């Protein structure tokens, strides 16, 4: 997966936006103001921080060398994924899971608003 593909995939979700609150090089992808992915898209190797359920995060880290505790994040809830170390399908699934987890934590009214065009 290329940096452009990762960026495009993150922005393909309903109400997803890209912001740069930390540095101009660090893309932060949010849904309704809540972060679901963070990446320096021009870094080598390409890595992305993704939210994850704590129990699943531990299991994924044990199963995949390319998944580590979230760098500069709450290590219980975030993983850092080295994109080139996993098949694209798994990276996409992890990004989607992160988005879904953040959406699930939004207030009901905001979740319902996401379902409307």
Residue range 42-85, pLDDT digits in tens? 999 999 999 999 999 999 999 999 999 998 899 999 999 999 99
| CB-CB contact of 2 with 83 (8 Å) | no
- The whole-number pLDDT of residue 113 equals 84
**Does the pLDDT value for residue 104 go beyond 80?**
yes
- The predicted model scores a pTM of 0.93
Ordered alpha helix ranges (H), the chain: 3-11, 54-63, 88-104, 108-114
Beta carbons within 10 angstroms of residue 67's beta carbon: 22
Nearest to 61 by CA among 79, 86, 84: 79
């Amino acid at each position: 997966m290329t940096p452009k593909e990762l960026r495009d995939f993150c922005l393909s979700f309903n109400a997803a936006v890209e912001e740069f609150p930390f540095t101009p090089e660090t893309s932060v992808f949010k849904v309704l103001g809540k972060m679901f992915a963070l990446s320096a898209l021009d870094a080598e190797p390409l890595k992305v921080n993704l939210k994850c359920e704590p129990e699943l995060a531990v299991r994924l880290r044990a199963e995949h060398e390319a998944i580590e505790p979230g760098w500069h994040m709450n290590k219980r809830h975030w993983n850092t994924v080295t994109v080139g170390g996993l098949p694209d399908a798994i990276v996409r699934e992890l990004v989607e899971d992160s988005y879904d987890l953040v959406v699930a934590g939004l207030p009901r009214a905001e979740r319902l608003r996401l379902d409307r065009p």
